[in-house]
Chains A and B, each alone.
Chain A
Amino acid sequence: MTAAPLATGTAPDTAGALLSVRGLTLDLVGGTPQPGLVQGVEFTVPKGRSVALIGESGCGKTLTAMAILGLLPRAVRVVSGEIVFAGTDLLTCGPRELRRIRGGPVGAVFQEPMSSLNPTMTVGDQIAEARRIHFREGRRTAREHARELLDRVGIPDARRRLDSYPHEMSGGMQQRVMIAAAIAGEPRLVVADEPTTALDVTIQAEILELLRDLRRDLGLAVLLVTHDLGVVADFCDEVVVMYAGHVVERAPVRDAFRTPAHPYTSALLGSVPRSDHARTPLQVIGGRVPPAGSFPGGCRFQPRCRHTAPACAEPQPDTVVGSGHHTRCGRVAAGGLQPGREL
């Protein structure tokens, strides 16, 4: 099920890629079938790099992340594409191999630590479980490793905390426990879906600092799903922008912020308040993300775009506009629009 390379685009450069998502298409099959919930999604996460997946709600960021983790809801079906992690296609490898990879070489951190941690298990047991399953460690060794991990993620008095339950901890501490559990399997990639959204901003800063240290010390790659452009600017090396199930732009972080090559990216950037423009109107996109099932043909952003032209009704090819910088805007690709913040 290899996606054919697009005419003017290139398949992601898979050399050095730890994770490569190619031509991922997801349909909703339950209830009212909705084809193309996520369509032809392509991007890579290179070894040790941090990649942001951004876009408004309903653009398919979380579904894409769940597909990587093999945690798609029953009603969502993979139509085509592949998700290759270190040489294994996670979509075809079978449940046994998936269980080996998930929680092992691929770790996960979610938004709500309280609903992702098991409330009936001590945090020590939850972290040790990963060691016991993935490394077949005995009870005592696993517990000792759990203590080291709690210590590593900055939980004071780790030995005593092993026997705490999640509800006895603050949100920030719970998120540290979740990160400890995610790195217990010695992952090479951590998929983090809005890991700091539910936290206060000073706690968010601590968690990002921790993730940054772990990346440096363990050579972790991170796929970070977020809607916070400040967090992207702070933490990520590369940006993948999704709109209505399509990847509309991929770029190194500096290029994404300086010379966005898709009007959607530029509009998102323009909607962030800036300290030097206090009390002046912000850019608005107008309208909203269409519900799945009523996506327009061609460019899905065209009904909300201020640069719409007749050509936008045609399918937009993925086009390279710079080193590692791809856009799905035909008008930018054709040179009719210049990449930049004014786009």
Chain B
Amino acid sequence: MTDAPVLRATGLTKSFPLRRSALGRVVDRVRAVDGVDLTVTAGRTLGIVGESGSGKTTVSRLVSRLLTVDAGTVEVDGVDVTAARGRALKALRASLQMIFQDPYGALDPTKTVGHAVAEPLLVHGRIGRRELTDRAADLLSRVTLDPGLVHRYPEELSGGQRQRVCIARALALEPRILVADEPTSALDLSTRSEILNLLLRLQKENGQAIVLVSHDFATVRHLSHRIVVMYLGRVVEEGPAALVAGEPLHPYTEALLSAVPVADPDEQRGRKRIVLHGDPPDPARPPSGCRFRTRCPVAMDECARIDPPLVPVGGERSVACLRHPGPAPVEPAAAAAIRVAR
């Protein structure tokens, strides 16, 4: 395992049109992702956690090149793939594969499981049609599915089995990076643990880098080495999983963690609760200054004026909050205000 990043994204920005005028001109946009940086190294899992509208899914699609960026760059193994097309894009698909939330929607109901799993090998010219069944059976056994399922159709499988088929397909080209967007959210409790165990084992065996996107902090905490917390298109906190989940610095991370109930009645009932009030703001009209300030329990006056950048605060972590200014504050006025607030 080297420390050189296999995936590095810098300044990712993406907006979507909300409304168009009668002449088809875009008159309103929502900036779903606004200046996000990410780095993942081999054999490591980067968890991206956030709620609806945080932009986490858009980030996963930008780094996978399922969407093109408005601004920013995506590098895989040091190669800029931001604008890759044709052959270069095909090469990217061989090194980066995705797993989606809904294993029902991700499989073609008219194709057999074997075809679904081995199709990437056909497309990339790695095998001929005659080898398809054998290679598919191998791949199925790697995800502990019965190789005999190759001739079955997706509708004959359970949700957990389908998600394994999707994982087997993602593994077919032996990618160095797996991007998994809510891979267990559509599954039952007991099936969820099977899929999480499978991802852990595959990573130990093959050393893939994994980008795991989820709204479920417990899942992200369980699988990740590092965690990125997103709110309204921005990264608000980033750092080693145990620290971010154990000693959160950003008030949003703290509130998010406090909202996840622990499955232990004594512990849960003794916890400090931070209940946020009010709905998250409309992502098309984020508040001025810090985007979390309208729901933040510790917001200060300056938070409406200053948009806090993500700054390193030591211990390999970064936070975007005026209460954690890091070594060099942004603006002298802000630093003074923070001193007063303390």
Contact = CB atoms under 8 A, between A and B. Distances in A.
Contacts of A228: 261
B155 interface: no
A324 interface: no
Contact of A201 (B190, B260, B262): B260
B245 A275 contact: yes
A233 B197 contact: no
Interface in B234-293: 241-242, 245-246, 255-256, 258-269, 273, 275-280
Contacts of B260: 201, 230
Interface string A270-289: 01111101110111110010
Contact of A267 (B190, B218, B219): B190
Contacts of B279: 170, 172-173, 203
Interface in A26-51: none
Interface string B200-226: 110000000000000111110111000
Given A271-B190, A272-B218, A273-B218, A234 B275 contact: no
A257 B266 CA distance: 10
A285 B265 CA distance: 23
Given A200-B51, A271-B192, A279-B200, A230 B275 contact: no
Contacts of B273: 205, 209
A159 interface: no
Interface string A221-246: 00000011111111100000000000
Contacts of A227: 188-189
B10 to A, nearest CB: 28
Interface in A56-85: 56-57
A275 B246 contact: yes
Interface in B1-56: 51-52
B223 to A, nearest CB: 7
Given A56-B188, A279-B200, A202 B218 contact: no
A254 interface: yes
Contact of A281 (B200, B216, B218): B200
A238 B196 CA distance: 29
B141 interface: no
Contacts of A235: 261
B193 A282 contact: yes
Contact of B189 (A56, A172, A253): A56
Nearest to A57: B188
B276 to A, nearest CB: 5
A205 B262 CA distance: 12
Contacts of A173: 279
B158 A288 contact: yes
Contacts of B278: 156
A204 B259 contact: yes
A343 interface: no
B261 A230 contact: yes
Interface class of chain B by DSSP: helix
A110 B86 CA distance: 48
Contact of B194 (A57, A268, A274, A284): A284
Interface in A95-141: none
Interface in A171-217: 172-173, 200-206, 208-209
A332 interface: no
Interface in A248-303: 253-254, 257, 267-269, 271-275, 277-279, 281-285, 288
A202 B279 CA distance: 9
B219 A209 contact: no
Contacts of B241: 278
Given A206-B276, A227-B189, A281-B197, A253 B52 contact: no
Nearest to A169: B279
Nearest to A54: B189
Contact of A268 (B189, B215, B219, B223): B189
A230 B262 contact: yes
B191 interface: yes
A279 B222 contact: yes
Nearest to A171: B52
Contact of A233 (B194, B216, B268, B276): B268
Contacts of A269: 263
Given A173-B279, A278-B222, A279-B223, A205 B190 contact: no
A132 B26 CA distance: 47
A231 to B, nearest CB: 6
Nearest to A253: B265
B326 interface: no
Contact of B255 (A202, A208, A271, A288): A202
Contact of B275 (A200, A206, A232, A275): A206
B277 A201 contact: no
Given A170-B279, A227-B188, A275 B221 contact: yes
A272 B261 contact: no
Contact of B276 (A202, A208, A273, A283): A202
Contact of B160 (A232, A253, A288): A288
B178 to A, nearest CB: 16
A70 B52 CA distance: 34
A119 B8 CA distance: 45
A271 B222 contact: no
Contact of B261 (A56, A231, A267, A268): A231
Closest 5 CB pairs of A and B: A230-B261, A273-B222, A282-B193, A205-B259, A271-B193
Given A202-B255, A230-B268, A257-B263, 10 more contacts: A201-B216, A204-B259, A205-B261, A206-B276, A273-B218, A273-B222, A275-B221, A279-B200, A284-B193, A288-B190
Interface of A: 56-57, 156, 170, 172-173, 200-206, 208-209, 227-235, 253-254, 257, 267-269, 271-275, 277-279, 281-285, 288
14 contacts: A200-B51, A200-B52, A200-B280, A201-B256, A206-B277, A254-B265, A268-B189, A271-B189, A271-B193, A273-B196, A273-B222, A275-B245, A282-B197, A284-B193
